[in-house]
Chain A
């Protein structure tokens, strides 16, 4: 049996990637076994041949359609979304569709918008849509052709519906699995015909698909990295320095060595690694370490000091990110200049599953398994640390318990630590590296602190000028991504959403300072829009209020060049039956509109002052335009979740730095939104036939300013410093 099967080879796979589609016959468990994928390809232990028309689709003789998903599933729905796209063009039976993470392979699984294999910028659907429609359509064409040859009928007379091929004239039908083997021998069509969207029965159809990962995430069987159990695996934890930039000066391991279950202690570049036979001894032994840190090069400033430095910088002009008209003249000639300064704290991502990873190597080959978000650079990093070639490292992406940007590491610092921990103890010892919540919250890689200074020029009741000086760290500078992203000394991720407004203002400038601070920073769900959305939407609201304009009508009047933003704003106003901001009895309404990652979103929040810990947000209305809505219910879920995530941080979250040391250690001191604080949410999706854009991040930015703008109608100021509720944990 084995000899009869054509072998998968790397070369054919690569050819397939370049031409997109090339017929590959893949015996389950053969060539891909080294990536850890082979086993999973075997449907229910069956040895039936899989039909693998391209890198994304596998059909086995038991009719199972497996979609290989090149994006990590950590809650935003790519398993279901990407499988929906394939199943649509394939006309598959949804109950037979499965999703799995694709292995790390840049040639096959590059994110066409990022240039590497990776997930981020809300691009999963956007960069996969055409690619996976073609992948599904090619598989369908080949199955039809195989049936046509077998039945000796014209392919054009065969219809496909829900995984069944049918020739009506001769009353013959067959399931996909029946022709999987025959289809695998056919040439792969270069340009298979795609469906007319009016014929879609899964994409955009309410209730047509159920999320593929939900049952396992409801009964405890979903496997995350922390759940990996391989015999003999050591649990490792690392003691990290309390201040950024410090190093180990000396360590006394006597106490740690006394903990039963401890296996070893090693120094690695990021700290002291402790290895034990299970988690608790590892944690206890780490606790018992006595480490002296060399803090000569450490960052020792506090948040308060950094804020003052940033404020001073914001009074000087920075690098110009964009400008038009003459804003200095507009400010000089204004009847009234309105100024506002907004301060944004460091924020942690705090995904429910802290960082963790598994690595096994024998000195020659390494297998890494973790929630990898940038597979290409992480695979390279692991290979580099272990002194292996790229092809000697296989990387298997696991489901991850959230990310919100925490796993998108341009520096691959966690993959590097994972490999260093493995390397320090030597080959043939499988290790599972675990970060605790304290490691997570005190471990840096925060959303950077920012200060925005805004000035608005009012003349004749109109907004004639807008100047915004932005101050904050770049998390791209000094990483391998810098040459691609940073242009003319400006990291666009620090000013996105501030340097281009949806509003027509005749005189405009956005400039930026990029200070260097030792506190490590990172992308955070919706990136620059986390702060620019708040600053811009609070300030426009303030200017409209100052000129006596309605928050909705006033914005619409300035949106001549932003038709999609105008549509979502009109839509949300209609949904909420907007009749002005109020107050209406004890409640007021605030609005915000933010375009990010190609998606336009408007939100209206209904807010009261609350009776305890800060404002009470009763209800949020949300209108979203993300092009073709592939999975309407996932879009709604991302809006709900984005609103909750954005609200929790706007209200409560801050990583204060005290003389270089992060203050919060756990969820007792890093306050997160809880169920009683979650508002009711009503979402409407604007119908569109434009290319789909992302939904994982864009729901986040509008909620903070929408709440702030409501507060401004309740007699409070728009909060100038976040979080809104300060000093309570």
Chain B
């Protein structure tokens, strides 16, 4: 076991884990931040998406030993205009069905809108292609991202 200091949602915290432990399990098992979900373990589904220094990252395939002093943001620590707009749009459109992938969807959508103010359909495809939704809520995800972008532009 090795001790690591990780900065998550603005707080520095110490964890004692195996060095190859994926960040996902540190967040969930060590820190109790269960909003970030396990879906595949190989970065193919996006349910585990968090931000590392503001950029989306699949936490299931990223060892805690590689985090260093970079800042981790999870769904629990999401803040800012884009986050508020995306979550509002998600609720207004009743996007989630089973809901299990939606933390990851919201994280990817917020990351997109931080980068691109008026995303095209292709921008949305590229930003969201890594986030699987087995309920196939994709029609509403796209619509909610467009709603959020419009509300931010207003």
Contact = CB atoms under 8 A, between A and B. Distances in A.
A281 B1 CA distance: 11
Interface string B114-144: 0000000000110011011111111111100
B37 A352 contact: yes
Given A260-B18, A278-B25, A278-B30, A399 B99 contact: yes
B68 interface: no
A675 B103 contact: no
B56 interface: no
Contact of B140 (A260, A284, A350, A637): A637
B74 interface: yes
A380 interface: no
Given A227-B34, A667-B45, A278 B29 contact: yes
Size category of the A interface is 35 or more
Interface string B44-78: 11010000000000000000000000000011101
B59 to A, nearest CB: 12
Given A220-B36, A221-B35, A280 B137 contact: no
A100 to B, nearest CB: 16
A674 B99 contact: no
Contacts of B132: 352, 667, 672, 674
A473 B36 CA distance: 38
Contacts of B29: 235, 278-280
A281 B25 CA distance: 10
Nearest to B32: A229
A224 B91 contact: no
Nearest to A260: B1
A211 B106 CA distance: 18
Interface string A207-242: 000110111111111111011010000010000000
Interface in A680-702: 680-681
Contacts of A120: none
A217 B37 contact: no
Nearest to A261: B18
Interface in B95-119: 95-103, 106
Contacts of A436: 41
Nearest to B121: A676
Interface string A353-394: 110000000000000000000000000000000000000000
Interface residues of B, number: 57
A353 B100 contact: yes
A641 B97 contact: yes
A673 interface: yes
Nearest to B29: A278
Which has the most chain B C-beta neighbours within 10 Å: A227, A642, A668, A674? A674
Contacts of B131: 675
A579 to B, nearest CB: 25
A667 B75 CA distance: 23
B28 interface: yes
B106 A680 contact: no
A402 B34 CA distance: 17
A402 B138 contact: no
Residue with the highest number of chain B CB atoms closer than 10 Å, among A216, A217, A218, A641: A218
A640 B133 CA distance: 12
Contacts, number: 187
Given A214-B95, A633-B94, A675 B125 contact: yes
Contacts of B32: 229
A352 B44 contact: no
Given A666-B44, A667-B44, A217 B99 contact: yes
A633 B90 CA distance: 14
Contacts of B87: 218-219
Given A214-B90, A640-B139, A678-B138, A401 B129 contact: no
Contacts of B133: 352, 644, 675
A404 interface: yes
A582 interface: no
B136 A645 contact: yes
B5 interface: no
Interface in A600-618: none
A351 interface: yes
A647 B100 CA distance: 21
B137 A211 contact: no
B3 interface: no
A719 interface: no
Contact of B97 (A278, A281, A637): A637
Interface in A319-349: none
B55 to A, nearest CB: 19
A220 B99 CA distance: 9
A260 B1 CA distance: 7
B62 to A, nearest CB: 13
B137 A641 contact: yes
A80 to B, nearest CB: 9
Contact of B98 (A235, A353, A667, A680): A353
A76 interface: yes
Nearest to A674: B129
B152 interface: no
Contacts of B30: 278
A516 to B, nearest CB: 30
Nearest to A371: B98
A397 to B, nearest CB: 14
A107 to B, nearest CB: 29
A640 B140 contact: yes
A401 B104 CA distance: 13
A190 to B, nearest CB: 37
A681 B139 contact: yes
Nearest to A620: B139
Interface in A619-643: 633-634, 637, 640-643
Contacts of A350: 134
A510 interface: no
Interface in B11-35: 17-18, 20-22, 25, 28-30, 32, 34-35
A103 interface: no
B77 to A, nearest CB: 10
Which of A210, A214, A354, A400 lies at the interface centre, i.e. has the most chain B CB atoms within 10 A of its CB? A214
A437 interface: yes
A596 B40 CA distance: 32
Contact of B139 (A633, A648, A672, A680): A680
A280 B17 contact: yes
B37 A401 contact: yes
A280 B141 CA distance: 32
A512 B17 CA distance: 56
A74 interface: yes
Contacts of A38: none
Given A404-B134, A640-B139, A666-B42, A214 B96 contact: yes
B38 to A, nearest CB: 6
Nearest to A403: B98
B94 A211 contact: yes
Contacts of A637: 94, 97, 137, 140
Given A280-B17, A667-B44, A640 B136 contact: yes
Nearest to B138: A678
Contacts of A404: 134
B95 A218 contact: yes
Contact of A351 (B41, B74, B98, B141): B98
A644 to B, nearest CB: 2
Given A644-B138, A675-B125, A218 B91 contact: yes
8 contacts: A75-B99, A217-B102, A218-B106, A279-B28, A400-B98, A437-B42, A672-B132, A674-B129
Given A352-B100, A352-B133, 4 more contacts: A278-B29, A400-B98, A400-B100, A641-B137
Interface of B: 1, 17-18, 20-22, 25, 28-30, 32, 34-42, 44-45, 47, 74-76, 78, 87, 90-91, 94-103, 106, 124-125, 128-129, 131-142
